[in-house]
Chain A
Amino acid sequence: MSKIRWITGGVLLIGVLGGGVLGLANASDRWGEDESEHERSSVRSSAKPLGPVAEAYIEECSACHMAYPAGFLPERSWNRLLSNLDDHFGENAEVEPDTLAQIKGYLSANAGEYTSNRRAQKFLRSIAAADAPLRITELKYFKRKHHEIPDRLVSGNPEVGSFSQCDVCHGEGAQQGYFDDDRVNIPGYGRWDD
């Protein structure tokens, strides 16, 4: 019995080691391509699976801030924003031209004008046709929805820091566009009922 266990274990060990080596070789072939499976799975944790283009957007943009729902700004805003990534609100956020094209394709195709998302439409209606705003937090609809939240709970709250950190209070679903009031949980404060 014990012999069988050892044989089974040995086979398993060789399998895993072999798999590791194969994975290594495979990884070296893929350098320069998109993100590792590990990171992909972390953005897929809720809601529907995302296509590879959305993944490029998330990979490139969500290291510094949440990958905001594309529908929350109109296409003209995304185009303006992406044409200036070397000075992205004072930060350098340059990406490779191929990646930029992918991100642009994704954001354009899913911008406010092209989504049926209820909130996206409310954002869009709060923007004048001649404007191409860059900050979601400065849109009228955003301000209306947050005007009762005191600054001390957000910018003055070390666990939140800034209104740009949607997911900290709205949860992981924020990146997928879920912002229902009953999901709100402000760190250090708790649920918010308005």
Chain B
Amino acid sequence: MKPTELRVLALVASLVLVSAVKAEMVVDQLLTQYQKAGAISFDATRGEALWMVESDGRSCTSCHGADLTEVGEHQKTKRAIKPMAPSVNSERLSKVSKIEKWFLRNCKWTFDRECTPQEKGDLLVWLRTQ
């Protein structure tokens, strides 16, 4: 490999790393917050199950689609929703206020209630591996 190619590779790798580290920090910050609010330990399997569960004909996948690495579609307006998986969309899980906003709106839409700190933590530990 030429030195130039190596340098480009190093640059790209470092940028990817920086955004991944940022998402990790954001998620960790929220997990700590949820634990202070009473959550115990978080479990990705429970998070995945909650993501898939259907409640009154609605689930997270109704809009985000079955494959998190693909573009979703708002059930009603048909607006495209960018992929939810941080592995293909580095904007995901990168901002505390945004995560909280969408948990509030979307838990109410999907389950007709707010999600508990335990549920939100479970969802986050699963989502961040996607």
Using a CB–CB cutoff of 8 Å, the interface residues on chain A facing chain B are 2, 5-6, 9, 12-13, 16-17, 20-21, 23-24, 27-28, 31-33, 36, 38-39, 63-66, 86, 89-96, 160-162, 164-165
Chain B residues contacting A28 (CB-CB under 8 Å) are 22, 25
In the assembled complex, the Cα of A63 lies from the Cα of B101 at a distance in Å of 12
CB closest residue in chain A, given B102: A63
* Count of interface residues, chain B, beta-carbon cutoff 8 Å: 30
A-B contacts, 10 of them at CB < 8 A, read A16-B15, A20-B18, A27-B94, A36-B91, A39-B91, A63-B81, A86-B108, A92-B104, A93-B105, A165-B79
User: Which one of B3-11, B35-43, B47-55 contacts A?
Assistant: B3-11
CB atoms of A31 and B26 under 8 A apart: yes
In the assembled complex, the Cα of A86 lies from the Cα of B25 at a distance in Å of 30
Within 8 A of A (CB), among B9-35: 10-11, 14-15, 18, 21-22, 25-26
In the assembled complex, the Cα of A9 lies from the Cα of B22 at a distance in Å of 25
Query: Nearest chain A CB to B107's CB is how many angstroms away?
Result: 9
Given A13-B7, A94-B104, A165-B14 contact (CB < 8 Å) = no
In the assembled complex, the Cα of A24 lies from the Cα of B94 at a distance in Å of 11
Using a CB–CB cutoff of 8 Å, the interface residues on chain B facing chain A are 3-4, 7, 10-11, 14-15, 18, 21-22, 25-26, 73-74, 76-79, 81, 91, 94-97, 101, 104-106, 108-109
Chain B residues contacting A6 (CB-CB under 8 Å) are 3
CB atoms of B7 and A9 under 8 A apart: yes
In the assembled complex, the Cα of A76 lies from the Cα of B79 at a distance in Å of 26
The one of B15, B101, B104, B109 that contacts A91, using a Cβ cutoff of 8 Å: B109
In the assembled complex, the Cα of A31 lies from the Cα of B68 at a distance in Å of 25
Chain B residues contacting A16 (CB-CB under 8 Å) are 11, 14-15
Query: Nearest chain B CB to A182's CB is how many angstroms away?
Result: 25
CB closest residue in chain B, given A16: B11
CB atoms of A64 and B96 under 8 A apart: no
Query: Nearest chain A CB to B65's CB is how many angstroms away?
Result: 14
Query: Nearest chain B CB to A46's CB is how many angstroms away?
Result: 18
Chain A residues contacting B4 (CB-CB under 8 Å) are 5, 9
The 4 closest A-B pairs by CB, nearest first: A161-B78, A20-B18, A92-B108, A65-B77
CB atoms of B11 and A13 under 8 A apart: yes
CB atoms of A13 and B10 under 8 A apart: yes
In the assembled complex, the Cα of A13 lies from the Cα of B94 at a distance in Å of 24
Query: Nearest chain A CB to B26's CB is how many angstroms away?
Result: 7
